Amino acid sequence: MIIDCHGHFTTVPTSLREYRKMQVATCEAGQTSDFAPPPDFSDDELRERLENAQLGLMKERGIDLTLFSPIAGLMGHHQGNEALSRHWSRICNDLVHRVSNLYPDRFAPVCQLPQSPGIPPQNCIEELERCVSELGFVGCNLNPDPSGGHWTDPPLTDRWWYPLFEKLAELEVPAMIHVSGSCNPNFHHTGAHYLNGDTTAFMQFLLSDLFRDFPTLKFVIPHGGGAVPYHWGRYRGLAQDLNRPPLAELLMENVFFDTCVYHQPGIDLLTEVIPAENILFGSEMVGAVRSVDPETGHYFDDTRRYVEALTGLSEVDRKKIYEGNARRVYPQLDKRLREQEKITTPA
Amino acid sequence: MIIDCHGHFTTVPTSLREYRKMQVATCEAGQTSDFAPPPDFSDDELRERLENAQLGLMKERGIDLTLFSPIAGLMGHHQGNEALSRHWSRICNDLVHRVSNLYPDRFAPVCQLPQSPGIPPQNCIEELERCVSELGFVGCNLNPDPSGGHWTDPPLTDRWWYPLFEKLAELEVPAMIHVSGSCNPNFHHTGAHYLNGDTTAFMQFLLSDLFRDFPTLKFVIPHGGGAVPYHWGRYRGLAQDLNRPPLAELLMENVFFDTCVYHQPGIDLLTEVIPAENILFGSEMVGAVRSVDPETGHYFDDTRRYVEALTGLSEVDRKKIYEGNARRVYPQLDKRLREQEKITTPA
């Protein structure tokens, strides 16, 4: 089985993006509560959106299941206020939940959190619990910079985040570290802000004893870990110079990287320096890069090709990257799959 | 000949660091001009500092010449005010100039600029001209984020920076894109802010027509280009999706990467995906990581070992990386070396 740990519902009906624009404009104009309800979509409309995109590509590429979350770039935690963030998060999470009900064996739902800059992360617990305990979500996306490129909240390792981490640990739900759009003109979202967020979070973890406080907490750092695996020697050296424990001991039970690196040499490096136990297959499809690589004739984001082409990878390790690690890092996914297996293969 | 394009005078006498602390404290307490003069050092003190560190390591590693600039982490453009930045930059640049006079065949001077957040970059021209035209500096370090981790100034591709770029082009001086310390608790300086600065600058260049306006302007992106080579497929794809010209055409005459990547797989990837013409040997020694890699028994920052170990690199390309590209990207360095050659080998 091949599980893609990183997919967003980027192909939502256009009216949802228009609704969001209107909603933000309304909020910025002074309406701070009682926001209008979202547009309605038929099941057929959603199916069409998915079958012509994510589902079609999954079939082509042999991907069985995608951990599916709302559009990262549209989480927009920096827009509006906390109430708007909560309202919008519910809409987005409900939509992803609906998709996972339409295709329960193809999509497992992952939620966004109603973060807002300067607002304590514990205020996200209610929506997290709703998603996980009531709706069967298996993971969440956690924005390390709700300000959208101004980095005004404390580092992820600050006690500011601890109440949320306690809940994540209790629910056995990992978080993918994922920034949203950037309102800082210095940072292009997918070309700079995303990768910077990944790199920044890893270094925060390196400096802290967070995983001594939360030994079971798990984070997936997407986009192949930002700059981290490419600079793995730098990080091993920094840990040593700063009298931190070796990385293996410090964080490799808790920090994982996906394979969203869009060329063969990048995946070669990732799998050379990071243990197979810490790599989860992912493609962020349909996402950051949507076109065909003229050098290969294949989609840039067809990351399965790169993983398949790894000659030095054992079949045991490939299976970990494709399935085993995801089921270990996302215990609620494993439960969901076991239940589905029970249903589809009755005794 | 082996030229290291990236060295900082990180081993300055302790009293200079103490002086800087005092200077910043004084400025923050309200003194905004007439700053106290720096401590004095004897030539012997400077020689001892260098021979036990940079010079000794250069000798051990077979590096002939280092492009030597003030401590990046201590530029501190976000500290104090513009007058302090100017005062401090002169001190640091004069010190580097003195080093290059003590060892003219071992160090070529590269200056820091008296940047200050919110202050037009053209205000740096006076110090740049002093360094290049009067003192023989061959390059400069340009901070893309003088705010020290808040990113409050416009992107490098904004016209805000153009007067400085005009002067750089006129003087034939490249800039290394190099942030300084971070005053944002989210960003560890060498573990996050440096690499984020590199990644961010590259994406800014990708989005703009800066090099149509300045066809001869050259930037060195240090630390192996941040996250960029590892995500080269992503950047090729983004350029294509955004209807930008291919990267080779868009910026490869103007943007270069150093080899400050502290493990073999990183250097393997860098030289696999980036043309040899765009790579300059660098080690950032003595810098970000100072210890020995227990996996190899050699210093993490002994980047020459990684370049030497590249079996797929032709001798022609290796010579470009070690010497040819540096002489091409830094025309003032080439002139300096030609003059020195004239002196040492009279007709």
Residue range A80-116, pLDDT digits in tens: 999 999 999 999 999 999 999 999 999 999 999 999 9
Residue B74 and residue B180 in contact, taking contact as beta carbons nearer than 8 Å? yes
Distance CA A191, CA B231 (A): 9
Residue B293 and residue A235 in contact, taking contact as beta carbons nearer than 8 Å? no
pLDDT of residue B123: 98
Interface contact B206-A191, CB threshold 8 A: yes
Catalytic residue check, A284: yes
Tell me: pLDDT of A161 over 90.
yes
Interface contact B233-A190, CB threshold 8 A: no
By DSSP bridging, strand A298-299 and strand A292-293 are antiparallel
**Among candidates B187, B232, B288 on the partner chain, residue whose Cβ is nearest the Cβ of A200:** B187
pLDDT of residue A107: 98
Would you state the structure tokens that stand for residue A273, as one six-digit string? 């320096």
Q: Any idea which residues of B carry the catalytic annotation?
A: 284
Helices B54-61 and B43-51, axial angle in degrees (round to 10): 40
Distance CA A186, CA A168 (A): 32
Which tens digit of pLDDT belongs to each residue from B53-79?
A: 999 999 999 999 999 999 999 999 999
Kind and range of the H or E element at A330? none
pLDDT of residue A344: 77
- For residue A237, the chain B residues in CB contact (below 8 A) are 262, 288-291, 293, 300-301
Catalytic option among A82, A127, A284, A323: A284
> Using only C-alpha atoms, what is the Rg of chain B?
19
- For residue B78, the chain A residues in CB contact (below 8 A) are none
By DSSP bridging, strand B298-299 and strand B292-293 are antiparallel
- For residue B290, the chain A residues in CB contact (below 8 A) are 237, 241
**Among candidates A151, A187, A224 on the partner chain, residue whose Cβ is nearest the Cβ of B200:** A187
| Residues contacting residue A327 through CB under 8 Å, at least 6 positions apart | A3, A333, A334, A337
Interface contact B200-A207, CB threshold 8 A: no
User: Which residue in chain B is spatially nearest to A188 when comparing CA positions?
Assistant: B203
User: Model confidence at B343, in pLDDT bands (50, 70, 90)?
Assistant: confident
Interface contact B293-A233, CB threshold 8 A: yes
Residue B83 and residue B89 in contact, taking contact as beta carbons nearer than 8 Å? no
Interface contact A200-B196, CB threshold 8 A: yes
Interface contact B289-A186, CB threshold 8 A: no
Distance from CA of A150 to the nearest CA of B (A): 6
Interface contact B290-A227, CB threshold 8 A: no
- For residue B230, the chain A residues in CB contact (below 8 A) are 224, 227, 229-230, 261, 266, 269
Please give the interface size between A and B, counted as residue pairs whose CB atoms are below 8 Å apart. 201
Interface contact A227-B229, CB threshold 8 A: no
User: Which residue in chain A is spatially nearest to B301 when comparing CA positions?
Assistant: A234
Distance CA A117, CA B215 (A): 41
Q: In a 10 Å sphere around its CB, with 0-12 CB exposed, 13-18 middle and 19+ buried, how is residue A344 labelled?
A: exposed
End-to-end CA distance of chain A: 21
pLDDT of residue A347: 59
Instruction: Give the residue-averaged pLDDT of B83-88.
Output: 97
Helices (H), A52-139: 54-61, 82-102, 125-129
Tell me: pLDDT of A345 over 80.
no
Instruction: Give the residue-averaged pLDDT of B130-135.
Output: 98
Instruction: Give the residue-averaged pLDDT of A56-76.
Output: 98
Distance CA A155, CA A169 (A): 19
Interface contact A241-B265, CB threshold 8 A: no
Assembly ipTM: 0.97
**Among candidates B206, B231, B236 on the partner chain, residue whose Cβ is nearest the Cβ of A293:** B236
Give which of B157, B179, B190, B199 to mutate to test A binding, by max A Cβ within 10 Å: B199
Query: What does the angle CA B252 – CA B170 – CA B107 come to, to the nearest 5 degrees?
Result: 75
User: Model confidence at B344, in pLDDT bands (50, 70, 90)?
Assistant: confident
- Cut 0.95: pTM above it: yes
Residue B54 and residue B7 in contact, taking contact as beta carbons nearer than 8 Å? yes
Instruction: Give the residue-averaged pLDDT of A63-82.
Output: 97
Give chain A's mean pLDDT: 97
**Among candidates B186, B269, B289 on the partner chain, residue whose Cβ is nearest the Cβ of A234:** B289
